[in-house]
Structure 1
Amino acid sequence: MTRLKISCALLSLLLVACSEPASVTKNDIPTVEVNLDNVHQDIKVLASDEFAGRGPLTAGETLTINYLAKQYQDIGLIGAVAGEYLQPVEIAQLTPDPNMHLTIGELNFTAGSDFTARTQQIQPLIELKNSDVIFVGYGIKAPEYQWNDFKDVDVKGKTIIVLVNDPGFATQDDDLFTGNAMTYYGRWTYKYEEAARQGAAAVFIVHETAPAAYPWSVVESSNTGSKYTLMDNNKNASQIPIMGWIDVAAAEAVFQQANLDYHQLKQQALSPEFKAVALNSQANLTLKNQLVMAKSHNVVAQLTGSESPNEYIVIGAHWDHFGAIETETGTKIFNGAVDNASGTAATLEIARIMAKMHQNKPFKRSIVFVNFTAEETGLIGSEQFARGNIIPTKQMVALLNIDGMNVLEGTDYILQYGKGLSEMEDYLVQAAKAQGRSVKMDPRPQNGLFFRSDHFSLAKQGVPSLLFMSLGDTDPDYIAHRYHKESDIYFPEWSLGGVKQDIELIVDIATQLANNGDWPKWKAESDFKTRRLQDRP
């Protein structure tokens, strides 16, 4: 992902108090008829073994994008890419050798069970040779918080070990960073970006389930097998050579080898006065990569507005999942039924509904439906879309992003991610109220979900966004046993009551924005707001 300069205001957005909902002009919204048979069928197809986990640059991608393009064509939408439905996304597929080993001092660690390692540099071979290992606390450099874990230490060419999340979560102190709510400094993407800026050769993030917000199995499935990246003109040489995770038990052993106590140093790292600690050992790792340069694809279709066709309401969901991997016990297919065949199926059904509405009374603005590629590997498809090659972001009114739906019974609430971010929250409140539902704040702000889905790529370019996500909220068993696992499969007995509710709500908001001429604004001072004001002063 591109380097992001985070201001203090941006990082504190999640704590900004919501203002009273603004008065939102609401048009008469026609009765929405959601055909759940369509949704069932689309999820069933997209999450089938035939589609093999919808891995980018695989046969599963070809099946997926062709299926989506055909559905949009049958619905009557036009292709938004010069009349075509597919937006090329040139990416590199990197597949690390699964049999690699990491040695730190006298310790030998096994890939998958003890650590993961990959790269976004376009290189067939990257080697760590006798690289000094240093513990750098949280690996954060944040002047606005008077925090710099890299003070008085030179990590150029070295291997650094850092903690996941940020000090606010560890202390639950609202005066430290933003307390329980994760900042971007707590995201693993930031850790790798800052390590690269500091010139490190490798970074390993210590995994612990609570601050990471997911078990080691998610780290393993998300960081092994084929991974993908956009490419620059220098083969991504500015990125960290080796980006890795290390299990907490393995980290404890590394510290013990140096006669140090991991948990004691972790506690010390909660102070801004903490200074990096050498672990008196050297790391060695040979990272071999199979490289494939290829094109993946976003699928983009639109309904053209009757009065302001160059103003766009964007409705999106990522189509990809983790594909299939070969193991000693056979092929494991990550079907991704909830994440995110459900969201992709919802975009199709919303397109069907809104196409019928458009026939009866054309929308004033254009409606764009986009299914992004490679979200699971760093929001790659949405980053490409946000570059504005198809539609300039200054012409995008708002984005409604769907990433994992409530496939069970409906609820009397809708989740809101982030607090006091933009006027899109007012639309959410009004539409939920019309359904007899309330708005419930994200119960797990420490997970930093605002930074973890495709809307973030557009938000960085100033586009106000809403995230619709119900991963595990109505089914607590999902995160523990199905999220990013091969058990995320389609169940024909799903009621899809929650899907129906949220489709109706999204259609309501999209219909309002398509006709009322409003340009929702960012509420708090932030890099998002600054970017929007640059485009729309």
Structure 2
Amino acid sequence: MKKILCLAMVSVAVLAGCNDSKPQTKKEIAVNDAVAITASYDSIDAQQLAEHVKVLASDEFGGRSPSSEGEKLTLEYLTKEFKALGFEPGNGDSYLQEVPLVSIEASPDMTLSIGGKEYQYGSDMVIGTSQIVEEIGIKDSPLVFVGYGVNAPEYNWNDYDGIDVKGKTVVILVNDPGYATKNPEQFTGEAMTYYGRWTYKYEEASRQGAAGAIIVHETAPASYGWNVVKNSWSGEQFGFQRDDLNKDRVKVEGWVNSDVAKELFAKAGLDFDVAKQEAAKGAYHVAMGDLTASVDVKNTINTSVSNNFIATLPGRTKADEHIIYTAHWDHLGTDKSLDGDQIYNGAVDNATGTAALIEVAEAFAKLPVRPERSITMLAVTAEEQGLLGSKFYAANPIIAPAKTVADINMDALDVVGRSVDVAVYGLGQSELDNFLEAAVKKQGRVISGDPRPAAGIYYRSDHFAFANVGIPALYAKSGKKPVDEATAKLRAELGPKLGKCYHGLCDEYNEQWDLSGAVEDMQAFFEVGYELSKENVWPKWSEKSEFKR
């Protein structure tokens, strides 16, 4: 109440000043500005956020799979909300940017045959293909262990050096060597680089001419359990429509669990743990005896068009310069092969981020004077399929990268109360950290580094596509230090459940959630964008950032 009374008193004083014929002083303008931003800042509301999440994560929206009825409902909802806020279509006269997709769904009726044993889909392995063909496979393809499957000249590391893998199936460890050794001089130590991502490993195996690529899943270095592999890489897998049908990719790509891997290494006369140790010492590969792999993949292929959603609040004096906020609207959809619950509602991931776009947009819309620069909200499609929507946008930008000041990404917001700290993924990458630090300092909070550096989070959400084209990108959320004992207790209760629900059927809205931390994060993101929108400043990459290149 005291805060509201103070604001009211300041507002009266400002209004009185407006009636005076004298020009306002710099101090009066500053007070007026403070009132405006405070009112907008305070408009970001937990209850409103919850209501948006409930709609987006409802069964009616069916898990928001790209090119589904759930997409149609999501885009209609976003259009309605942003129109009401006064945000204009961001793509000419349209709120949509078409993203041509192809879905490839491998039949689960397959087995992977190695060493006289048939390994089962889902429980032992998940295999598919990126090639856009109805049927493909490998037969008697020799297995070769290629360590981490990395070719990185800047780290003087090439696991493929001196070996021809054409026609062979490479077996690869997840993450990169620095994770295994924790040596800060090896790659980036425990913090994952892009070389540790599964996407890179398939890409490099393809460049090397391999027939197949199989990644060994281990929960710690992958940063997620086997259930995520099973749920995320089975069913429809989306990619871009391409004239070459992705014929440059390996024929088959997939995962085996660690128990299968240990069995295969033993059959090859190798010790899995010893091989891992050797692979972490330096570039490494070894043939896996006379083991060969065979598998037939039969696909159902559909082409479709999904959409990115883009809405803009034009700037007052520099409308061609934009601050972009991103979140992915999509999730995993519905799996009708399941008994009982079939819907991956995606409440945390990422109805929270999509709802946050609306809340932050509303805060900007409530400013009595528009910012000098434009504010653009971009909800992208097919993030769960490999950041496809943001990659497509980066390759086909509606706003030129040279006119994009920064990207602020919101993905899977905090739902378990307030934190003392704000975790910045990729801390030290750019000067955006300084803007965020100033914003959270006003909240009595501090910024901290990535709480899970080994997970490579900075390479796993939509800001990555912006960083790849040189646009400074910020990705942060509430940290791990609870603000009080009650919050610590809530986290102890809900934390394990939330972890198990990642990419699971149980990622649904929960009345036990405490969205106060999400509100603080959104308020900080709003302030960062507000400060960027009124200053003639272009945040720079740090000298050590790989994206500066």
TM normalised by structure 2 equals 0.89
The offset of 1:239, in angstroms, is: 2.3
The alpha-carbon deviation at position 480 of structure 1 amounts to 3.3
Tell me, yes or no, if structure 1 residue 167 matches structure 2 residue 177: yes
Alignment partner, residue 83 of structure 1: 93
Alpha-carbon distance, 1:189 to partner: 1.0
Percent identity over paired residues: 41
Asked if residue 522 in structure 1 is aligned to residue 544 in structure 2, the reply is no
Q: Equivalences for 1:358-369 in 2 at 5 Å?
A: 360-369=368-377
| Cα deviations by residue, 1:1-37 (Å, 9 ceiling, x for unpaired) | xxxxxxxxxxxxxxxxxxxxxxxx9974333222322
Compare 379-388 and 450-459 and name the one that shifted more: 379-388
Partner of residue 236 from structure 2, selected from 226, 245, 252: 226
SS in 2 for 1:495: coil
2:395 counterpart of 1:376:
no
- Per the alignment, residue 458 of structure 2 pairs with 450
Cross-structure match for 1:477: 496
Is the deviation greater in 117-126 or in 513-522? 117-126
C-alpha distance in 2 between matches for 1:333 and 1:471? 29
Out of 52, 55, 59, the position equivalent to 1:49 is: 59
> Is 2:509 the partner of 1:501?
no
CA distance in 2 between counterparts of 1:446 and 1:389 reads 31
The equivalences for 1:344-493 within 5 A come to 344-357=354-367, 360-469=368-477, 476-478=495-497, 480-493=499-512
Check conservation: 2:478, 2:517, Cα contact below 8 A: no
Distance in 2, matches of 1:469 and 1:127, equals 42
CA contact (8 A) 1:405 1:468 kept: no
1: distance between equivalents of 2:436 and 2:66?
32
Cα distance between partner residues in 2 of 1:465 and 1:526: 12
Q: Which amino acid aligns with 1:505?
A: A
Is 1:472–1:479's contact at 8 Å kept on the other side of the alignment? no
Structure 1 residue 471, shift from structure 2 partner: 9.3
Report the Cα offset of residue 482 of structure 1. Answer: 1.1
Counterpart for residue 13 of structure 1: none
SS, match of residue 144 in structure 2? strand
Matches within 5 A, 1:77-226: 77-226=87-236
> Which of these residues, 315, 319, 327, is aligned with residue 309 of structure 1?
319
| Structure 1 alignment gaps of length 5 or more | 1-24, 531-537
- Aligned partner of 1:343 in structure 2 is 353
SS in structure 1 at match of 2:321: strand
Match of 1:61 in 2: 71
Letter matched to residue 375 of structure 1: E
In the TM superposition, what is the alpha-carbon distance from 1:472 to its structure 2 partner?
A: 8.3
- State how far apart, in whole Å, the 2-side matches of 1:317 and 1:389 are: 16
Structure 1 stretches of 4+ with a deviation exceeding 6 A read none
Cα distance, 1:279 vs structure 2: 3.4
The corresponding residue for 2:295 is 285
Pick closer, same or farther for the CA change 1:333–1:108 going to 2, 3 Å: same
Distance apart, 1:278 and its partner CA: 3.0
Is the 8 Å Cα contact of residues 404 and 471 (structure 1) preserved in structure 2? no
Deviations 1:320-375 (A, max 9, x none): 11111123524521111111101110101111111111xx1011111100101000
Residue 463 of structure 1 aligns to which amino acid in structure 2?
I
Which position in structure 2 is the counterpart of 1:22? Answer: none
Q: Which amino acid aligns with 2:418?
A: G
2:62–2:70 contact (8 Å) kept in structure 1: yes
Q: Within 2, Cα distance between the matches of 1:291 and 1:111?
A: 19
Cα distance, 1:277 vs. partner?
A: 2.2
Deviations 1:452-506, CA, capped at 9 Å, x for gaps: 0000000000010111345988553145311111111101342310121011111
Give yes or no for contact 2:341–2:505 (8 Å, CA) kept in 1. no
Q: Secondary structure at the match of 1:72?
A: helix
Whole-angstrom distance in 2 between the partners of 1:52 and 1:134:
41
CA contact (8 A) 2:128 2:252 kept: yes
Compute the RMSD of aligned alpha carbons: 1.8
Separation in 2 of the partners of 1:329 and 1:388? 41
- In 1, distance between residues paired with 2:229 and 2:64? 19
Deviation at 1:520, TM superposition (A): 0.3
Take 2:67 and 2:480, find their aligned partners in 1: how far apart are those partners? Answer: 29
Aligned to 2:332: 322
Q: What is the distance in 1 between the residues matched to 2:419 and 2:166?
A: 52
Unmatched tracts of structure 2, length 5 or more: 1-29, 482-490
Partner of 1:30, secondary structure, is: helix
Counterpart of 2:5 in structure 1 is none
Q: Say whether the 8 Å CA contact 2:144–2:285 is kept in structure 1.
A: no
Corresponding residue number in structure 2 for 1:511:
530
Contact 2:423 2:479 in 1 (8 A): no
- The superposition leaves residues 394-430 of structure 1 with CA deviations (integer Å, 9 ceiling, x where unpaired) of 1110000000111222122111111321000101111
Once residues 276 and 426 of structure 1 are traced to their aligned partners in structure 2, the CA distance between those partners, rounded to angstroms, is 47
2:138/2:251 contact within 8 Å kept: no
Shift of 1:527: 4.7
- Highest CA radius of gyration, 1 or 2? 2
Q: Distance in 2 between matches of 1:416 and 1:69?
A: 30
Count residues in correspondence.
504
Moved more, 471-480 or 298-307: 471-480
* Higher deviation after alignment, 93-102 or 228-237: 228-237
Higher relative contact order by CA 8 Å / sep ≥ 6: 1 or 2? 1
Instruction: Give the match for residue 255 of structure 1.
Output: 265
TM-score (norm 1): 0.91
How far residue 210 of structure 1 moved from its aligned partner, in angstroms, is 0.8
State the shift of 1:232 in Å: 2.9
